């Protein structure tokens, strides 16, 4: 018997985040093993590369944690908007703008601001992400425009603009890579355990995720935020400021995406490369869904996705698994945790013939 | 929930105590393809040359790693390749690679890099070899000039160059070489340059080519990777012509592609890697420039498109190739 599935875009409540993470981890492990046997001619080498190498080689493991930081920050941005009922899909453009802004500011201020240039670059990146997000936010606040549509349109426009900036006026023409000039090494985030790429950014992501958890679970404003997300009119009747929730979560999410972009360019990459944000918006939405929109679970869902990327790359290097298999596994994991058998839903519907 | 998160955190913390692997095997070779080998003559030759060198070296092993076309992901993939600890030598081919290798090499100084079609001098772990692409550009420019003059004798002479993007090798070698070839035929030749913005958008390449052919251009040189297919398609529809870079262009369209400048990448990679696997480490830190005189740059006359050209053009090309090999004109240079 085939069970129809329904997909829950916004997921507050329902099964607990820990259970979701467990389901996601389990399905990821099964899918990775399956893909190793189906797609690779060296399945055991692929399995070893996917499951052991990311955890057994110290630099790979720590670099994997580093790679999870921007994803966790973007996922937190997704949770902030989704829990306010705004389905903003513009994260990638916001992160990309943040990365370009951070690189430009770090270069411009390195000589004058010293070690403060790093902080300045992060703040500037947050501002850049906020500005990009402010466009759909203003559309929602003043014209009631659909954030789902406007955010993705604005994001795509910003991606094209950043591509043009990096490939044109801001490009380092002395190198063959399409990238901006390298950020002076003194301005980059300090690497904690070379040769691993690990910096302080996972701790920053962890702190912000915990702050997000406290906001949603322990503060009155967080409760109002959730209430607005479920029913804006009811939140207004309760005396909460509807006007603020109509735009502020979108702009704050933009700032978080911008910081994620800064973390990428101020980390090992050390500059902004054309196309560097590719797929982070989509991955962040997936990570937020896997975490059940709970900020406390975001570092773990981001780490799960980071492992899928690192494991797939290792399996491509050490065996012959296609490197993009990690993306496919991610997609199936997202569907697995988001889709439920329809009989679950039918329980809440009235039976045929029942009085309404 | 909290207990679950604490458990996961503990597992991850313990995992981080894992040890680094021992030093890499100097006979273990990774061929890092910044793209996809199949269908790319340059990368197919890279793989063929490296495979031959490894096959002839006892105890050596090889692994082909395709990094795809997205430049933004190359750094991560190169880093993963090196960080795996499995490879002592990384062989690759792309002008962008030395910058990335130098960055990765700071963290993994034991790994050695041999990069063809690139230039970086003075890095102790990296050996690069640059083809004299000014000579390549000159050869196809000269052919484009001859064909244009033959087909449109009374018109102002003009040819086209459609590039994926600007980069130093294009700006300093390929384009000046192509222009020099055109102007060797007629000093009044004008070059129409257009840019696609990436290496894969064949639709945009086709659009640009259509505009150029529509404006009276007879021959276009695409330097655009897989996007070059778009130029060939439009040329085929309009009965116009294309000159090709780095070989195997006749395979795309035997009649439309009228000439191919070639590089002997397989020979070069084989020689350099074989020498490195044999224990010769003297080349690391050096950057060589190879040319038509060593047989590393040339012209492929074995295509129907070239065979169908008037004999006078083919004779003029043979003379030009001979002169270039003899040093006239002299495009040699020591640094880049």
Whether residues B77 and A174 touch (CB distance < 8 A) is answered with no
pLDDT tops 70 at residue B302: yes
Separation between Cα atoms, residue B164 and residue B256, nearest integer Å:
20
Is it the case that residue A6 has pLDDT exceeding 50?
Answer: no
Token digits of residue A172: 């380092």
Residue in chain A lying closest to B104 (CA): A195
ipTM of the complex: 0.81
Pairwise CA distance, residues A72 & A263, whole Å: 11
Question: Is a pLDDT exceeding 80 seen at residue B8?
Answer: no
B interface test, pick of A164, A209, A290, A317 with most B CB neighbours within 10 Å: A317
Cβ contacts of B85 on chain A, cutoff 8 Å: 57
pLDDT tens-digit readout, B242-297: 999 987 789 889 999 999 999 999 999 999 999 999 999 999 999 999 999 999 99
Average pLDDT over residues B172-194: 96
Interface of B with A in 180-239 (CB under 8 A): 197
Query: Is B72 within 8 Å of A274 when comparing Cβ atoms?
Result: yes
pLDDT of residue A7: 41
Compute φ and ψ for B179, nearest 5 degrees. Answer: -65, -40
Q: Judge: A21–B4 Cβ closer than 8 Å, yes or no.
A: yes
* Minimum-distance CB partner of B99 among A60, A175, A275: A175
User: For all residues of chain A together, what is the average pLDDT?
Assistant: 88
pLDDT of residue A175: 86
pLDDT number for residue B194: 97
Question: In this predicted structure, what is the pLDDT of residue B3?
Answer: 52
Distance in Å, alpha carbon of A249 to nearest chain B alpha carbon: 26
For chain A, percent of residues with pLDDT exceeding 90: 60
Rounded to whole angstroms, how far apart are CA atoms A242 and A234? 10
CA B307 to chain centre: 25
Cβ distance B80 to A58 less than 8 Å, yes or no, reads no
Task: Indicate if the pLDDT at residue A8 is higher than 80.
Answer: no
Task: Tell me if A175 and B96 make a contact (CB, 8 A cut-off).
Answer: yes
Residue B14, pLDDT above cutoff 50: no
* Contact call for A60 and B83, based on CB within 8 A: yes
Residue A63 to residue B79, Cβ atoms within 8 A: yes
| Beta-carbon separation of B84 and A314 below 8 A | yes
Q: In sequence order, what are the residues at sequence separation of 6 or more whose Cβ sits closer than 8 angstroms to the Cβ of residue B109?
A: B125
Name chain B contacts of A324, Cβ cutoff 8 Å: 68
Find chain B residues with C-beta within 8 A of A22's C-beta: 4
Q: Which of B199, B276, B191 is nearest to B39 (CA)?
A: B199
* C-alpha atoms less than 13 angstroms from C-alpha of A196 in its C-beta half-sphere: 23
A25-68 confidence digits (pLDDT tens): 888 888 888 888 888 888 898 898 889 888 988 899 999 999 99
Nearest of A247, A249, A251 to residue A133 by alpha carbon: A251
Contact A59 B20 (CB under 8 A): yes
**Rounded to a whole number, what is the distance in Å from the CA of A236 to chain B's nearest CA?**
32
Closest-CA residue of A relative to B72 is A276
Question: What value does the mean pLDDT take over residues A266-292?
Answer: 92
Q: Which chain B residues are within 8 Å of A178, Cβ to Cβ?
A: 71, 165, 167
Position A2 pLDDT exceeds 50: no
Q: Are residues B84 and A167, on separate chains, in Cβ contact within 8 Å?
A: no
Name the pTM for this structure: 0.85
A244 to chain B nearest CA, in Å? 32
Contact at CB, B72 and A296, closer than 8 angstroms: no
Q: Distance (Å, rounded) from C-alpha B161 to C-alpha B24?
A: 44
The whole-number pLDDT of residue A340 equals: 60
Output the DSSP codes for A120-135.
HHHHHHHHHHHHHHHH
| Structure tokens that stand for A352 in this block | 């045929």
B5, B16, B81 member nearest A61 (Cβ): B16
Q: Spell out which residues of chain B touch residue A274, defining contact as CB-CB under 8 Å.
A: 71-72
Closest in A173, A195, A276 to B107, CB measured: A195
Record: contact B1-A63, CB cut-off 8 A = no
At residue A9, the pLDDT reads: 40
- For A118, phi then psi, to 5°, come to -65, -45
Of A231-245, A248-262, B102-116, minimum mean pLDDT range: A231-245
């Amino acid at each position: 018997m085939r069970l129809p599935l329904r997909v829950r875009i916004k997921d507050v409540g329902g099964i607990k985040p820990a259970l979701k993470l467990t389901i996601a981890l389990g399905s990821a492990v099964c899918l990775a093993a399956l893909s190793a046997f189906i797609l690779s001619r060296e399945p055991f080498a692929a399995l070893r590369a996917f499951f052991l190498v990311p955890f057994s080689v110290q630099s790979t493991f720590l670099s994997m944690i580093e790679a999870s930081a921007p994803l966790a920050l973007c996922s937190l941005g997704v949770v902030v908007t989704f829990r306010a009922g705004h389905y903003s899909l513009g994260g990638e453009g916001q992160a990309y703008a943040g990365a370009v802004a951070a690189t430009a500011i770090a270069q411009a201020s390195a000589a004058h601001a010293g070690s403060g240039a790093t902080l300045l670059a992060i703040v500037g990146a947050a501002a850049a992400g906020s500005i990009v997000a402010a466009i759909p936010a203003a559309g929602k606040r003043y014209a009631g425009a659909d954030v789902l549509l406007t955010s993705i349109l604005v994001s795509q426009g910003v991606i094209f603009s950043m591509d043009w900036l990096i490939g044109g006026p801001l490009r380092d023409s002395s190198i063959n890579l399409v990238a901006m000039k390298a950020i002076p090494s003194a301005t980059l985030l300090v690497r904690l355990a070379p040769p691993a790429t690990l910096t302080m950014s996972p701790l920053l992501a962890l702190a912000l995720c915990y702050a997000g958890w406290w906001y949603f679970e322990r503060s009155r404003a967080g409760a109002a935020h959730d209430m607005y997300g479920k029913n804006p009119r009811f939140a207004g009747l309760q005396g909460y400021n509807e006007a603020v929730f109509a735009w502020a979560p979108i702009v704050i999410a933009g700032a978080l995406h911008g910081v994620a972009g800064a973390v990428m360019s101020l980390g090992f990459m050390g500059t902004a490369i054309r196309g560097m944000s590719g797929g982070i918006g989509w991955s962040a939405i997936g990570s937020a869904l896997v975490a059940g929109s709970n900020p406390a679970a975001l570092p773990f869902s981001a780490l799960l996705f980071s492992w899928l990327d690192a494991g797939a790359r290792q399996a491509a290097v050490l065996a012959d698994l296609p490197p993009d298999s990690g993306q496919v596994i991610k997609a199936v994991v997202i569907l697995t945790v988001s889709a439920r058998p329809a009989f679950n839903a039918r329980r809440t519907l009235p039976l045929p013939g029942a009085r309404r | 929930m909290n207990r679950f998160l604490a458990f996961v955190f503990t597992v991850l913390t313990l995992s981080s105590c894992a040890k680094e692997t021992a030093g890499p095997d100097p006979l273990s070779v990774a061929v890092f393809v910044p793209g996809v080998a199949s269908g790319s003559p340059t990368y197919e030759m890279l793989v063929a040359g490296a495979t031959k060198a490894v096959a002839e070296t006892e105890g050596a092993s090889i692994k082909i790693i395709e990094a795809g076309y997205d430049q933004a992901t190359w750094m991560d993939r190169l880093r993963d390749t090196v960080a795996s600890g499995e490879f002592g030598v990384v062989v690759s081919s792309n002008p962008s690679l030395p910058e990335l290798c130098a960055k990765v090499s700071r963290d993994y100084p034991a790994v050695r890099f041999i990069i063809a079609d690139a230039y970086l001098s003075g890095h102790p772990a990296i050996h690069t070899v640059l083809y004299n692409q000014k000579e390549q550009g000159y050869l196809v420019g000269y052919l484009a000039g001859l064909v244009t003059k033959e087909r449109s004798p009374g018109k102002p002479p003009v040819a086209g160059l459609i590039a994926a993007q600007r980069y130093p090798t294009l700006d300093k070698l390929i384009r000046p070489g192509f222009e020099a070839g055109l102007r060797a035929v007629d000093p009044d030749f004008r070059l129409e340059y257009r840019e696609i913005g990436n290496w894969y958008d064949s639709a945009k390449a086709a659009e640009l080519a259509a505009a150029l052919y529509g404006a009276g251009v007879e021959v276009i040189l695409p330097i655009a990777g897989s996007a070059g297919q778009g130029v060939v398609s439009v040329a085929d529809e309009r009965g116009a012509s294309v000159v090709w870079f780095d070989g195997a262009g006749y395979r795309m369209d035997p009649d439309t592609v009228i000439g191919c400048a070639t590089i002997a990448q397989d020979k070069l990679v084989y020689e350099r890697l074989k020498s490195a696997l044999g224990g010769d480490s003297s080349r690391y830190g050096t950057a060589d420039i190879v040319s038509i005189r060593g047989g590393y740059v040339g012209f492929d006359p074995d295509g129907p498109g070239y065979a169908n050209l008037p004999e006078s053009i083919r004779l003029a090309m043979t003379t030009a190739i001979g002169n270039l090999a003899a040093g006239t004109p002299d495009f040699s240079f020591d640094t880049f």
